[in-house]
Amino acid sequence: MNFSSNLIENAVREISKLPGIGSKTALRLVLHLLKQEEQSTLTLTEALRKLRQEIQYCRKCHFIADKALCSICESSQREQHTICVVENSQDVMAIENTAQYKGLYHVLGGVISPMEGVSPADLHIDTLLERCFAVDFQEIIFALSPTMEGDTTAFYISKKIQNPEIKITSIARGIPVGSEIEYTDEITLGRSILFRTAQN
Amino acid sequence: MNFSSNLIENAVREISKLPGIGSKTALRLVLHLLKQEEQSTLTLTEALRKLRQEIQYCRKCHFIADKALCSICESSQREQHTICVVENSQDVMAIENTAQYKGLYHVLGGVISPMEGVSPADLHIDTLLERCFAVDFQEIIFALSPTMEGDTTAFYISKKIQNPEIKITSIARGIPVGSEIEYTDEITLGRSILFRTAQN
C-alpha cells in the first residue's frame, strides 16, 4: 500500500506488529488518531511508555505489580496456606475474575518445554520451592495448561517439593460448562467419566 | 475486570478507546507489549507521537503529507488538468491503490451535512474553487459517498464552479464486481440499468 507519508507508514508498520492487527486495521487506527485531539494520542503513548518502563513484578509471586509486592501478596485477607501455581499473569487475572479462589499465587513465567528450549531454570521454580520451604503451605494447586508441557511441569515441581504434608492438587479437567457431550474430544470425555464428581 | 496494576489499567483504558478494540483485546495487546523488549514499545509510542505531532496536510489539496506539499501535488508525472474531489485522505489512498487515476486530488474533509452541523464553510471548498479559477482544469471528478450528503456536496460545488468549459463527472455507481444481481438493492440496480455502459 502507498501511504504518501513516512509518518503514517512508520506508525502503521509499528501498530501492525501487534498481534491480530493487520495493516488495514493499523491504518484505520492511525487515521482515527489523526482525527482526534493531539492530547488523546499523547495520553495513549504516555500510558504505554509508563507501562513498559515502570512495570514491576511482585518479588514474591512474580505477578504484575506497580510496586515490589503485588496487592495479593500484600493482602492479609488472603488465605495464606494455599498457593496456586500458574503459567502467567493473565492466568492470575482470569482466576481472580472467577472470585472462587482466596489464596496466594505463584507465576512460573511459562511451562517446561524441551521443544521450545524452556528448561526448569528458565522458570520461577526456585522461588516457588523457597516459598514452600519458608511457609507452611497446606495445599498447592496447579492451574497449568492441560497439555503435555503443563503436566510435565506440575510433575517436576511436585517431585521437587518432597513434603508429604503438603496436599498437591490440579484444577479439574472435564467438560466445559455450556458445551455438548457429543462434540467433546475423547480424552476430555474419558477423563471426565473417570474423575466424575458426586452430585451435590 | 481487576487488573492488579494501575499502569495496566491505564494502558488498557487508553487502548480500548481506539475503534474496534475492546478491553479484552486491549489487555492482550498490553500483555504482548510487556513480553516484548522495552525498545519495541518505545518505537511504537515514538512513531505515534511523531505521527500526531509532525503530520502536515498538503496546502494545495489537503491530503496527508510529511511536508507542505504532498507527493501527488509535487509530482510532474501527474495529469495536471484533471482533479478528483474526495471526502478524506483514506479515499485518496484507496483510489491511488487502484492505479487507475493519474490526475490530482482535492480532499474536502467531509461532506455537507446539515444534520451533523457540517456547512460548506467547514469544508475545503473555498480552496477548491480557488484552484479551479487558477488552473485550467478540463475535468472535475466527484468521488464522494453515494449518499444524499455526497450528492448535495457535489451539486453545491458544481453550481459554484460556474465554468461551462470544465467537464464535471462522478465516479460510476452500479453493481460492485463480484456481487450478485438478485441481492443488489433496488436503487443501485435501477441506476445500473439506466446508466448502462456499452459492451467492449
Shared domain for B48 and B91, answered yes or no, is no
pLDDT band at B47 (very low <50, low <70, confident <90, very high): very high
Asked if residues A85 and A144 have their Cβ atoms less than 8 Å apart, the reply is yes
Give mean pLDDT, residues B155-168.
Answer: 90
Shared domain for B49 and B83, answered yes or no, is no
CATH number for the domain that contains residue B154? 3.40.1360.10
Asked if residues A150 and A144 have their Cβ atoms less than 8 Å apart, the reply is yes
Q: Tell me, what's the pLDDT at A2?
A: 63
Give mean pLDDT, residues B43-68.
Answer: 91
Q: Do B71 and A29 touch (CB under 8 A)?
A: no
pLDDT band at A10 (very low <50, low <70, confident <90, very high): very high
Shared domain for B158 and B111, answered yes or no, is yes
Q: What is the mean pLDDT of chain B?
A: 90
Residue of chain B whose alpha carbon sits nearest to that of A35: B52
Q: Tell me, what's the pLDDT at B177?
A: 85
Q: What is the mean pLDDT of chain A?
A: 90
pLDDT at B164 over 90: no
Q: Tell me, what's the pLDDT at B181?
A: 84
Query: Which contiguous run of DSSP H or E holds residue B143?
Result: strand B139-143
φ, ψ for residue B48, nearest 5 deg: -70, -40
pLDDT at A129 over 80: yes
SS3 A156: helix
Asked if the structure places residue A63 within a domain, the reply is no
pLDDT at B70 over 70: yes
Q: Do B93 and A27 touch (CB under 8 A)?
A: yes
Per the model's pLDDT, the better-predicted residue between A151 and A192 turns out to be A151
Give mean pLDDT, residues B135-146.
Answer: 92
Residue of chain A whose alpha carbon sits nearest to that of B71: A4
Give mean pLDDT, residues A86-112.
Answer: 92
Residue from the list A2, A41, A64 with its beta carbon closest to the beta carbon of B52: A41
Handedness of CA A130, A133, A134, A137 (dihedral sign): positive
Structural domain boundaries, residue B145 = 79-194
Interface residue of B13, B14, B29 to substitute, partner A, most A CBs within 10 Å: B14
pLDDT at A200 over 70: no
The span from the CA of B172 to the CA of B198, in Å, is: 14
Shared domain for B46 and B100, answered yes or no, is no
pLDDT at A137 over 80: yes
Shared domain for A84 and A181, answered yes or no, is yes
Asked if the structure places residue B181 within a domain, the reply is yes
Q: Check residue A107 and give left, alpha or beta (phi > 0: left; psi -120 to 50: alpha).
A: beta
pLDDT tens for A54-71 read 988 999 999 998 888 998
Asked if the structure places residue A122 within a domain, the reply is yes
Q: Tell me, what's the pLDDT at A43?
A: 94
Per the model's pLDDT, the better-predicted residue between A182 and A200 turns out to be A182
Residue from the list A25, A30, A52 with its beta carbon closest to the beta carbon of B34: A52
Q: Contacts of residue B97 in chain A, CB cutoff 8 Å?
A: 1-2
Shared domain for B45 and B104, answered yes or no, is no
CATH number for the domain that contains residue A35? 1.10.8.420
Q: Do B19 and A31 touch (CB under 8 A)?
A: no
Q: Do B11 and A48 touch (CB under 8 A)?
A: yes
Asked if the structure places residue B62 within a domain, the reply is no
pLDDT tens for B5-15 read 889 999 999 99
Q: Contacts of residue A96 in chain B, CB cutoff 8 Å?
A: 2, 4
pLDDT at B196 over 70: yes
pLDDT at A73 over 70: yes
Interface of A with B in 18-37 (CB under 8 A): 18-20, 25, 27-34
Give mean pLDDT, residues B120-147.
Answer: 92
Shared domain for A83 and A155, answered yes or no, is yes
Residue of chain B whose alpha carbon sits nearest to that of A11: B47
Q: Tell me, what's the pLDDT at A126?
A: 95
pLDDT at B24 over 70: yes
Q: Tell me, what's the pLDDT at A180?
A: 85
pLDDT band at B3 (very low <50, low <70, confident <90, very high): low
Q: Find how far residue B170's CA is from the centre of its chain.
A: 16
Q: How far is B72 from chain A (nearest CA, A)?
A: 8
In this complex, is the C-beta atom of B43 within 8 Å of any C-beta atom belonging to chain A?
A: yes
Residue from the list B7, B19, B65 with its beta carbon closest to the beta carbon of A32: B19
pLDDT at A3 over 80: no
The span from the CA of A66 to the CA of A68, in Å, is: 7
Q: Which residues contact A126 (CB under 8 A, 6 or more apart)?
A: none
pLDDT at A86 over 90: yes
The radius of gyration computed from the CA coordinates of chain B, to the nearest angstrom, equals: 22
Give mean pLDDT, residues B94-98.
Answer: 89
Asked if the structure places residue A136 within a domain, the reply is yes
Interface of A with B in 75-104 (CB under 8 A): 88-90, 92-93, 96-97
Give mean pLDDT, residues B117-138.
Answer: 93
How many independent structural domains does chain A possess? 2
Cβ-in-10-Å burial (0-12, 13-18, 19+) of B51 comes to buried
Q: Tell me, what's the pLDDT at B159?
A: 92
pLDDT at A178 over 70: yes
Q: Do B20 and A13 touch (CB under 8 A)?
A: no
Give mean pLDDT, residues B37-62.
Answer: 92
Q: Tell me, what's the pLDDT at B65?
A: 87
Residue of chain A whose alpha carbon sits nearest to that of B18: A29
Q: Tell me, what's the pLDDT at B190?
A: 86
Q: Tell me, what's the pLDDT at A177?
A: 85
Shared domain for A172 and A89, answered yes or no, is yes
